[in-house]
Chain A
Amino acid sequence: MKYDQARWTDDNEDRYEPLLSEKASQTVDIDDSPLPDDLTRDSLSLPDPAEPELARHYTRLSQMNYGVESGPFPLGSCTMKYNPSFTEDVAARADAAIHPDRPDSTTQGTLALCHRLQDYLGRIGGMDAVTLQPPAGAAGEFTGIQIAKAYHEHNDDERSEVIIPDSAHGTNFATAAMAGYDVVELPSGDDGRVDIEALEAAVGDETAALMLTNPNTLGLFERDIEHVADIVHDAGGLLYYDGANLNALLGRARPGDMGFDVMHYNVHKTFATPHGGGGPGAGPVGVREELAQFLPNPHVRERGGNFEHYEPDHSIGKVHGFYGNWPVLLKTFAYIARLGDEGLRDASAKAVLNANYLAEQIEYEVPFGPFHHEFVASAGEQDAADAAKRMLDYGVHPPTTKWPEIVDEALMTEPTEGETKRSLDQLAAAFNAVAGDSDAELADAPSRPTAKRIDQATAARNPRLSWQALDDT
């Protein structure tokens, strides 16, 4: 037996924590319901834990989970920064818990707050109008590309291609395809940035848009951005900004000033709303004036001191059934209102400082530079995924691995502004310890977390996706 965080685990047990269904389950027969029998099911079998048991179950599960408040979480591109507690209280307010179908006259508070957030985000991104509807970054991309499409169609200029650098996030490619575009992948230049010649060769009459992250996923600022914008605009295309990396630039540069026509903000990254184990997030989209007529329906505007929903003239329609992920937007608002100009500027400065400091302290090769909020180290001869597992043994969450592919065995590292120097030194020590470990040590890792290395191949070859699919339940 050993004491494992919170619970005695018998060495002979074949699971870390039984499923709810294994703890307490019940089958209820449905016979005298208020509906005719042919409209109802016969029975329902589900877990039936008493509240004390339920509380222990989820508490135990939480103890087998690592979050930003557990320790450093330098997952590149994900901006896993500290989530201020007070924003949770803000989102839990009773006067925020309203139904979406109320008349505008009864929701002036919510509309006023949305209007203010639209305005804040517009100023931060240098955009003329902002919609809050998209429920995540990828949904923002879809919104933005549908807006680009609507713009071209409005000009009787149908186009078929979206250009995306090879270092871009997978959602960019998937979004363009979802919107019906052919993807033209742009190889990166030797300096890890957009290759101008390749871009010139790629653009043309079919170019609907170029999707770009700046700084890019290597943490590098695209210094030629104005030239890039000219090339795309001269070809009649639009420039789309993937806002995932905006935490690098707050108050230093704005997508609107760089020539971007449409962008999404990734509020669960830049504005510190919690990632919630994979979501929810929110992906507001900002556009230049000329594109405001295509924004999703409805949009919020002010009329004589009152706020109202309205449908933009050539709206693309909707990308969320209602108004998007409202509680997340509320947390975003609270965060921006707390930090203000100075705080936002400072957050970016410290995020960039932390990334540069950490890059300096680690022994792995770190190609390219200068970096902003993140850098991509190379695990060299080591397998990056194995190196990541070994980092778990040193008590920290590893970076994103094996992406972007232009760095071999990539360790994409984004410490965020939330780490102290002491914590960065510990993080660097973990990187360096792993760099010195043998392949065998890496292959056997991790040994310290509750679960040991998990067999991914078996999971995929023989998918068991529910307790019903487990043989032994």
Chain B
Amino acid sequence: MSFDVPDDLRYLESHEWVRVAGDTAAVGITAFAQDELGDVVFVELPEEGAELAAGEDFGVVESIKAVSDVYAPVSGTVTAVNDRLRDEPELLNEDPFGDGWMLEVEVADESEVDDLLSPDAYRDQIE
């Protein structure tokens, strides 16, 4: 089975994606990750204003039979949280790169983005 790995995103080995636009970055989990987890039933996210550090966990995704920490691809301040996930955690399954986004972050250090996996590198990892 091959999974969508959009070309305009960067990735973490732990299956998070980040979409950088200027100094803000949207963060979510990949199509591969949601498939591994199965039906997502609960998402725990930080509050707006929280500080994230690259590589550290910032939230939890639960499916019926698994619990997974979610890691921050970059450091920064949380500027928006996808509140829809509270009542519709299934968005992570249905549209992981779109409506299933988790957070927006004001990026503290843009150079961190360069350390992330390219789409090709991530594709290699999951194939």
Chain A residues within an 8 Å CB radius of B39: 456-457
> How long is the Cα–Cα vector from A461 to B87 in the complex, in angstroms?
8
Q: Separation in Å of the B40 CB from the closest CB of chain A? A: 8
Residue of B nearest to A383 (CB): B38
> How long is the Cα–Cα vector from A267 to B90 in the complex, in angstroms?
42
Is A402's CB within 8 Å of the partner chain B?
Answer: yes
Is B41's CB within 8 Å of the partner chain A?
Answer: yes
Chain B residues within an 8 Å CB radius of A402: 65
Residues B65 and A461 in contact, CB atoms below 8 Å apart: no
Q: Separation in Å of the A412 CB from the closest CB of chain B? A: 15
> How long is the Cα–Cα vector from A460 to B62 in the complex, in angstroms?
10
> How long is the Cα–Cα vector from A456 to B42 in the complex, in angstroms?
13
Chain A residues within an 8 Å CB radius of B62: 460
| B contact patch SS | loop
Residue of A nearest to B42 (CB): A460
Chain B residues within an 8 Å CB radius of A457: 39, 41, 64, 90
Q: Please report which residues of chain A, range 418-459, place their CB below 8 angstroms from some CB of chain B when the two chains form the complex.
A: 456-457
Is B100's CB within 8 Å of the partner chain A?
Answer: no
> How long is the Cα–Cα vector from A456 to B40 in the complex, in angstroms?
10
Which among A385, A402, A457 has the greatest number of chain B C-beta atoms within 10 A?
A: A457
Residue of B nearest to A456 (CB): B64
The proximity string for B residues 81-118 relative to A, scoring 1 for CB distances below 8 Å and 0 otherwise, is 00000000110000000000000000000000000000
Which among A385, A402, A456 has the greatest number of chain B C-beta atoms within 10 A?
A: A456
Q: Please report which residues of chain B, range 1-57, place their CB below 8 angstroms from some CB of chain A when the two chains form the complex.
A: 39, 41-42
Which among A385, A402, A456, A461 has the greatest number of chain B C-beta atoms within 10 A?
A: A461
> How long is the Cα–Cα vector from A461 to B39 in the complex, in angstroms?
10
Which among B42, B65, B90 has the greatest number of chain A C-beta atoms within 10 A?
A: B65
> How long is the Cα–Cα vector from A385 to B41 in the complex, in angstroms?
18
Q: Separation in Å of the A367 CB from the closest CB of chain B? A: 22
Chain B residues within an 8 Å CB radius of A456: 39, 64
Chain A residues within an 8 Å CB radius of B42: 460-461
> How long is the Cα–Cα vector from A457 to B41 in the complex, in angstroms?
6
> How long is the Cα–Cα vector from A23 to B90 in the complex, in angstroms?
35
Q: Separation in Å of the A313 CB from the closest CB of chain B? A: 42
Chain A residues within an 8 Å CB radius of B64: 456-457, 460
Q: Separation in Å of the A192 CB from the closest CB of chain B? A: 22
Chain A residues within an 8 Å CB radius of B41: 457, 460-461
Q: Separation in Å of the B94 CB from the closest CB of chain A? A: 12
> How long is the Cα–Cα vector from A402 to B64 in the complex, in angstroms?
13
Residue of A nearest to B66 (CB): A402
> How long is the Cα–Cα vector from A383 to B55 in the complex, in angstroms?
32
Chain B residues within an 8 Å CB radius of A385: 65
Q: Separation in Å of the A6 CB from the closest CB of chain B? A: 31
> How long is the Cα–Cα vector from A460 to B89 in the complex, in angstroms?
11
Residue of B nearest to A403 (CB): B65
> How long is the Cα–Cα vector from A457 to B64 in the complex, in angstroms?
6
> How long is the Cα–Cα vector from A49 to B42 in the complex, in angstroms?
38
> How long is the Cα–Cα vector from A456 to B65 in the complex, in angstroms?
10
Q: Separation in Å of the A147 CB from the closest CB of chain B? A: 30
Residue of A nearest to B89 (CB): A461
Supply 13 further A-B pairs (C-beta < 8 A) apart from A457-B64, A460-B62, A461-B89: A385-B65, A402-B65, A456-B39, A456-B64, A457-B39, A457-B41, A457-B90, A460-B41, A460-B42, A460-B64, A461-B41, A461-B42, A461-B90
Nearest first, the 8 A-B pairs at minimum CB distance are A457-B39, A460-B41, A456-B64, A461-B41, A457-B41, A460-B64, A461-B89, A457-B64
**What are 14 of the A-B contact pairs (CB < 8 Å)?**
A385-B65, A402-B65, A456-B39, A456-B64, A457-B39, A457-B41, A457-B64, A457-B90, A460-B41, A460-B62, A461-B41, A461-B42, A461-B89, A461-B90
